[in-house]
Amino acid sequence: MTRVIFMCGPSGAGKTTYARRLEGAGMVRLSFDGHLWARGIRSGEVPAIVRDEVRDLLRTQLAALLGAGQAVVLDFSFWSRAMRSEWRALAAEHGTTPETIYLATDRRTVLARIEDRRGADADDFPVDLQTAAGYVDRFEVPTPEEGPLTIVVEGEEFAVTRRAPGVYDYHWLNHRHGGYGFSSATSDHSPVDGLGHVDGIRDFLRAIDPETGFIEDDDE
């Protein structure tokens, strides 16, 4: 099956750096900012008509690439569930279930990176700080109920899956020894929201012994 990855996170989260690694491994990277840059748009608010034109072009490109059996990484923000659903439906038309990689970079780091942007190229697209802060605050963090999900916290990657209603498994993909992670459950079997998953991973990482890579007194 052809692979599609959604890079997910606000501007400054580190999506393009991650997507470039996937591109280097053979995936085709599609980017809104790349198309805007090519049209001479280097900063400021993008007119809605231009954004719609670029979106339609990217949809056409994605469909063609999937039809040709290419693996694709979409280097977008995917800030809303509605946006993710729209593109997931397009991938489904080609028999593909997208994987979402959410970079849970903290707000301070995101805004510091945005402030340092100088518009050197399409990967350094300037964004007004107030606008960037609004993106962060309105961001709808993905959940495993939407589809396959990996959450990246401080460089550590966790595949998050729902085992049963309110029960989740977190598999630490880049753990030094492999095969490690944790599980959690809500008392009333209610679903956990996206930020709840991020907070759970942060709490878990804080409990890890940096020398052993495991939680102290863990039998693993």
Partners of 159 in the β-ladder: 150, 171
29 plus 57 within the same structural domain: yes
Q: Are strands 72-75 and 149-153 parallel, antiparallel or unpaired?
A: unpaired
User: What domain range includes position 202?
Assistant: 153-206
Q: What is the dihedral of CA 161, 1, 54, 81, to 10 degrees?
A: -20
58, two tokens? 């990217």
Residue 218 belongs to a domain: no
CA angle 100, 103, 105 (to 5 degrees): 160
User: Is 220 within a domain?
Assistant: no
Report yes or no on 174 lying in a domain.
yes
Kindly state whether residue 148 falls inside one of the protein's structural domains. Answer: no
- Predicted TM-score (pTM) above 0.85: yes
CA angle 5, 3, 30 (to 5 degrees): 50
For residues 11 and 58, membership in a common domain is answered with: yes
**One domain, residues 123 and 157:** no
pLDDT at residue 119 in the model: 58
- What the block records as the tokens of 8 is 């997910």
**What pLDDT does 129 receive?**
73
How confident is the model at residue 220, as a pLDDT?
45
Shared domain check, 189 and 128: no
Number of domains comprising the chain: 2
Note the pLDDT tens digit of each residue in 60-116: 999 999 999 999 999 999 999 999 999 999 999 999 999 999 999 998 998 888 877
8 and 53 share one domain: yes
Count the residues in the chain: 220
Spatial separation of the C-alpha atoms in residues 184 and 188, rounded to whole Å: 12
Please spell the DSSP secondary structure of 52-80, one letter per residue: HHHHHHHHHHHHHHHHTT--EEEES---S
**What band does 44 get if pLDDT is binned at 50, 70 and 90?**
low
Which of 191, 189, 103, 188 has its CA nearest to residue 145?
Answer: 191
User: Are residues 164 and 87 both part of a single domain?
Assistant: no
Task: Return the amino acid letter for 188.
Answer: D
